[in-house]
Each structure stands twice: as structure tokens, then as C-alpha cells.
Amino acid sequence: MRAARLIKMVLLLQSRPSMTAAELARELEVSERTVTRDAQALSEAGVPVYAERGRAGGYRLVGGYRTRLTGLHRSEAEALFLSGVPGALREMGLQDAASAARLKVSAALLPSLRDASRTAAQRFHLDAPDWFKEPEPPELLPAVADAVWDDRCVTARYRRGRGGEEAVRELEPYGLVLKAGVWYLCARVREGEGSFRVYRIDRFTAVDAGAERFTRDEDFDLPAFWAERAAQFARSILRAEVVLRLSPRGVRVLPYAVDPRSAREALDAAGAAGADGWVTVTLPVESEEIAHTQLRMLGPEAEVLAPESLRERFALDARRLAGLYGDPAP
């Protein structure tokens, strides 16, 4: 543990002109007293680190000193490619590996390029979860991520739906996907025909990764597989249809109220607008109940023509609103 900290301290000092004891303590997550002891240990081991007193002082390396301890471990190299998604790294338990990889890359760069990581971080940040949703990383995510990295087979206990029964599956975990703050595992089922399926990580109740490894199918393309399955899922849940009349403003707002892809397809298939500018569209929806909730957003900019039961729901809404607000003032 201390050896890794000493290496990290050397790399930090190699990548920057000078660092105070407080800055080193913060980076190394130790006390300033420990920093002083570590600097003394490095000096005794032949690493030319010295301290300068005063307001502009701090710990420095003798000019020109270069350490050869810049080789990346495999886990660090893999984590480096994910360094643009810090939240995902943290949830998978790879934050330390990514930090070490960035330090080693920074130490290997020319002095004029060592601020590249800082300038990039100031200009790009990915915040994956949707608005007003506090992400809760699944407890078993690190264990699943370890199995994905190592190509190890897992025995997973999976809960079907909310409060559904549990099933046990022997899986070959191929890849992880973070979608709108929710983690998914793309895996091949070892039983039967060995088909690829998608599982929500937060529905795993137990994961046991053994020592057995599987041979990865080199033709498997995770982004392409996910895009295909996501499109299939979106189509599969749209099992009902509603017919709407939309005002010009309703046409503009529709993609924000319902599934954007379904809205665009419905508008593209619609006929020409009438003399009043209103357009009639046939829109696929998940269910009448969900359509009722979503289409409320359109207010008076949409009229439901069918099914009749949904039209009656909106008619009841209109009567209740009229009772609350009364006739508008002249």
C-alpha cells in the first residue's frame, strides 16, 4: 500500500513543477505529516525530491529527473479509455485504476502537454443520468464489471420485473451499458441455444463469478447489439394506437410528450394539414393509461379522436377543469 502511494507521489511531482504538502495530502488521501515522511523515504531511496519553504514553496523533483515507473497495467489501460465517464468509473470500482493511468500518461508527456488532462476536463463532462433522478448504482455492479473485464462465467440470480419471481441463469457476461442512469448487462445464456440477452443490473439479487472463463465471440459488436435491442424494445412496448388532431403548436410539442421516434414517424405518415392548420395523426403508444398521462401535456393543442374510451377520459378532464376554473372572464 505504501509502495503504491510513494510511486503515485513521484508521478505527481513529475507531472507538475511543484506541489504543496496540502495538495499532495489531498491527492494521496493522507495527512501532511505522512507526506513529509514519504518525501523523506523517497529521498533516502535516491529519488531527488526536496522541499522549498516560503509562500511559493513546496515539494519538487530535481530538474530533469524522470522515473521509468510509467508502464500501464492492463486494468489501468482499459480504465483510461473510460476516463471521460467518471461517474461510471466510480460505480464500477475503477476510479483508482483510471487515476493511476492518467498519472502515468501525464508523467510520460512533454512538460508543455502535461496540463492536457486538466484542460480537457474543464471543457467536457458527461452526466449520464436524466434530470431530477438521483442515480443509485446497483450494489452488485462492481462484481459484474469484474467478470466482464476478466471474461469469467457467472451464476446470476435475476428478479423478473418489479416484485417478480427469481430465476437462476448461467451467463457469459459480454458487456455493460449505461442508459439514462440505468446499468444493463449484455450476456450470452449458457443453457439452450446460447442466445444473447439483456439484463438490468439492479434486478440481480446474487452474482457468483467462478474461475471458469469463456471464449469471447470476436464478431460480437456491443454498440450494434445494444442499438438493435433498444430499437426492438421500443417497438415491442408500443402495443396500442391513438388517433389525434394536432394544432400547429401541438405538432411541435408532440415529440416532447411521447416517444420522439414514434412521434416523428407518425407525423411523417400524416396527411396534409386542414384549412385550420390542424393535422390528424395515428400514434403508437404503450397503453391507453400511459397515453392519457403523456398527452395531457398537449392540453388544448390536441384532440383525441380514437379510441372512444380515451376521448371520454379527456372529456372528463375537461369538465373537471371547467369546474375548477369556471368560465373565463370576458
The residue whose grid cell reads 457468483 is 208
Sign of CA dihedral 28, 34, 39, 45: negative
The residue whose grid cell reads 376554473 is 325
Helices then strands, counting H and E runs in the chain, come out as 13, 10
CA distance 181 to 328: 43
CA distance 309 to 274: 25
The CA distances from residue 176 to 40, 91, 200, in Å, are 44, 12, 10
pLDDT, position 127: 66
The CA distances from residue 2 to 14, 38, 96, 134, 177, in Å, are 18, 9, 15, 36, 35
Count of other CB atoms within 10 angstroms of residue 75: 17
CA distance 304 to 298: 11
Instruction: Decide if 40 contacts 4 (C-beta within 8 A).
Output: no
Count of other CB atoms within 10 angstroms of residue 137: 18
Burial class (CB in 10 A: 0-12, 13-18, 19+), 250: buried
pLDDT, position 308: 95
CA distance 233 to 75: 33
C-alpha cell at position 309: 374510451
Angle at 41 between CA 105 and CA 18, to 5 degrees: 45
Burial class (CB in 10 A: 0-12, 13-18, 19+), 145: buried
DSSP class of 214: -
pLDDT, position 86: 59
CA distance 161 to 166: 9
CA distance 284 to 236: 11
Question: Which residues are 155's β-sheet partners?
Answer: 170, 208
Instruction: Decide if 220 contacts 172 (C-beta within 8 A).
Output: no
pTM comes to 0.55
Q: Which segments in the chain show pLDDT lower than 70?
A: 1, 3, 55-56, 64, 66-130, 132-135, 161-163, 327-330
pLDDT tens-digit series, residues 208-218: 998 899 999 88
The CA distances from residue 114 to 84, 100, 221, in Å, are 17, 15, 34
